[in-house]
Amino acid sequence: MTEMTPTRPNTKKLFIKTYGCQMNVYDSDRMTDALAPHGYETTLDMAQADLVLLNTCHIREKASEKVFSELGRLKELQTERRALGGDMLIGVAGCVAQAEGEEIARRAPVVDMVFGPQAYHKLPDMLARAEGQRHMHPALKKAIIDTDFPEEDKFEHLPAARKEVTIKRGLTAFLTVQEGCDKFCSFCVVPYTRGAEVSRPVHQVLAEARGLVDAGVKEITLLGQNVNAYHGDDKGRVVGLGELAYLLAEIPGLERLRYTTSHPRDMDDALIAAHRDLDILMPYLHLPVQSGSDSILKAMNRRHTAAEYLAVIERIKTARPDMALSGDFIVGFPGETDQDFEDTLSIIREVGYASAYSFKYSTRPGTPGAGLSDQIAEEVKTERLYRLQELVNAQTTAFHLSCVGKTLPVLIERPGRMPGQVGGRSPYLQAVHLEGSTDLIGAIHPVEIIGTSTNSLVGRLKQAVAA
Ligand code: 5AD
Ligand code: SF4
């Protein structure tokens, strides 16, 4: 059920386009919340928007370039709106804004505001300044740029995840607990765009989680670029992600907890023990290794070997034998030989992933990897990516098939694609479809898995024997 917010006469329309990772999804919701008290309401139609924000991703070149083509389209929409007597303000947020700041304003003069992820709490103020320039001659307008890494904690100023947003988005929610990264993998822009590792204090995280659960959320995914490096303050004491999980598990009504993305070096004993002890912690872990070759791992500055990664997995599986794993892989990092790539395929075979994301190495300006001389030819990257994806796709299919015949607890989240069907997620994050009434939505039900289809499972509701 959705709550209706009465439309105020001077309501302005906001359209946010979100690129990239789940943290951007979370951030876009926080920006929506920050603008609501200033009369902004979201619209699904970009052409109707008084304010368009592009929340961008800089992780790979392709992701970055999308922003400039979208700005070209926006320029046309803005011209159309102006011809009809309206206007459209345009802001670029996120990691491209952080990395390219002034360059965006120069390349795309249509942009009114450029601001990085650490400036979201200042958005209403920036917007007021942009609105103040509205009637200026275009030559005199100056884009408002904020790519500072301020001292203050933006979360102290940003609204926490709110009920309205939650209801719209359903039974699952993201909650950012940590931002930034101190690992400096040599291919990655994150330490430069999101800045140094910062953890939110425990009381803030618990309060936001309780608010989400009060609003009907059953499953929370804790977010952080390096989420398992979480080290939040609890009245002067430092709390790690493992301990945080135990604290969150005490919230009545919270049924499932996940977290992403983790670094192998930060899988400490407390977190592994939490996986052993807490049913609420789902047995599905995204733990990227990037490569299976020790020399490439070294060049990537991952600070662990393939054997150390496998040893971490072994410890996790001892604590939680049904743990399903997911990973990220980069092919064609500078200097990657055929043998290095074979080592990556070997580690994939050894781990057996439930799912995986894989990418061709993309040179990111300003990262150490960009300065390396032995870059790999595009055709070689393409061929390696194809082979790697063939292998992980086969593993995903095998994992789905291994679930057939089992009864899994499924959080039923929504009506299915066909009438009379509902859909939800297994503990292993697989989509599950089954015949059933929409009354099932909102709770975890036992579902017998009777088949698979592309990227999902087909199930049958198992009647609970007793309540
Ligand atoms: N090129 C290709 N893939 C990258 N990733 C991060 N930086 C790059 C890059 N320069 C991938 C990594 C990371 C995921 C979020 O994106 O696999 O884990
Ligand atoms: Fe990027 Fe490495 Fe940090 Fe992950 S751990 S965000 S890949 S620098």
What's the distance, CA 53 to chain centroid? 18
3-state DSSP assignment of residue 172: strand
Indicate whether residue 256 lines ligand 2 (CB < 6 A).
no
Spatial CA neighbour of 398 closest among 452, 326, 344: 452
Q: Cβ distance 394 to 349 under 8 Å?
A: no
Tokens linked to 1: 């059920």
Burial label for 24, CB within 10 Å (0-12, 13-18, 19+), is buried
Q: How confident is the model at residue 143, as a pLDDT?
A: 87
Tokens linked to 136: 């200026």
1/289 Cα distance (integer angstroms): 41
Spatial CA neighbour of 131 closest among 88, 92, 94, 101: 88
Q: How confident is the model at residue 2, as a pLDDT?
A: 40
The dihedrals phi and psi of 368, each to the nearest 5 degrees, come to -60, -35
Indicate whether residue 226 lines ligand 2 (CB < 6 A).
yes
Q: How confident is the model at residue 454, as a pLDDT?
A: 82
How many CB atoms are closer than 10 A to CB 463?
6
Q: Cβ distance 188 to 364 under 8 Å?
A: yes
Q: Cβ distance 334 to 369 under 8 Å?
A: yes
How many CB atoms are closer than 10 A to CB 81?
16
Indicate whether residue 188 lines ligand 2 (CB < 6 A).
yes
Indicate whether residue 290 lines ligand 1 (CB < 6 A).
yes
Nearest-atom number in ligand 1 for the CA of 290 is: 17
Tokens linked to 416: 């299915």
Q: Cβ distance 279 to 247 under 8 Å?
A: no
3-state DSSP assignment of residue 282: coil
How many CB atoms are closer than 10 A to CB 423?
20
3-state DSSP assignment of residue 167: helix
pLDDT tens per residue, range 27-45: 999 999 999 999 999 999 9
Indicate whether residue 202 lines ligand 1 (CB < 6 A).
no
Spatial CA neighbour of 343 closest among 318, 309, 371, 317: 309
Ligand 2 center to residue 275 CA distance, Å?
Answer: 23
β-sheet bridge partners, residue 446 = 409
Dihedral in degrees, nearest 10, Cα atoms 251, 254, 255, 258: -100
The tens-digit pLDDT sequence of the chain (467 residues) is 344 444 555 789 999 999 999 999 999 999 999 999 999 999 999 999 999 999 999 999 988 788 989 999 999 999 999 888 888 999 999 999 999 988 999 989 899 999 999 999 999 999 999 988 877 776 777 888 888 887 777 788 878 775 454 445 579 999 999 999 999 999 999 999 999 999 999 999 999 999 999 999 999 999 999 999 999 999 999 999 999 999 999 999 999 999 999 999 999 999 999 999 999 999 999 999 999 999 999 999 999 999 999 999 999 999 999 999 999 999 999 999 999 999 999 999 999 999 999 999 999 999 999 999 999 999 999 999 999 999 999 999 999 999 999 999 999 999 998 899 999 999 999 999 999 999 999 999 999 999 999 889 999 999 754 44
Strands 51-56 and 172-176: unpaired
60/262 Cα distance (integer angstroms): 19
Domains of the chain and any CATH numbers: 12-146 (3.40.50.12160), 155-399 (3.80.30.20), 407-461 (2.40.50.140)
User: Of the ligands numbered here, which is closest to the C-alpha atom of 187?
Assistant: 1
Q: Cβ distance 308 to 297 under 8 Å?
A: no
Q: Cβ distance 368 to 333 under 8 Å?
A: no
Alpha carbon distances (Å) from 28 to 39, 121, 181, 233, 329: 16, 12, 20, 26, 27
What's the distance, CA 376 to chain centroid? 28
Which residue's CA lies nearest to atom 12 of ligand 1? 328
Indicate whether residue 191 lines ligand 2 (CB < 6 A).
yes
β-sheet bridge partners, residue 59 = none
Dihedral in degrees, nearest 10, Cα atoms 21, 103, 61, 66: 70
Show Cβ contacts of residue 394 under 8 Å, excluding neighbours closer than 6 positions.
Answer: none
Nearest-atom number in ligand 1 for the CA of 189 is: 7
Spatial CA neighbour of 259 closest among 326, 164, 335: 326
Tokens linked to 200: 């939110």
* 3-state percent breakdown (helix, strand, coil) of the chain, nearest 5: 40, 25, 35
Q: Which amino acid is at 442?
A: G
Dihedral in degrees, nearest 10, Cα atoms 375, 379, 382, 386: -130
Substitution site in 21, 22, 59, 326 for ligand 1 pocket (most atoms within 8 Å of beta carbon): 59
Nearest-atom number in ligand 1 for the CA of 364 is: 10
Show Cβ contacts of residue 432 under 8 Å, excluding neighbours closer than 6 positions.
Answer: 408, 410, 423, 424, 425, 426, 447, 449, 456, 457, 458, 459
In the chain, how long is the greatest CA-to-CA distance? 73
Q: Cβ distance 67 to 17 under 8 Å?
A: no
Ligand 1 center to residue 330 CA distance, Å?
Answer: 6
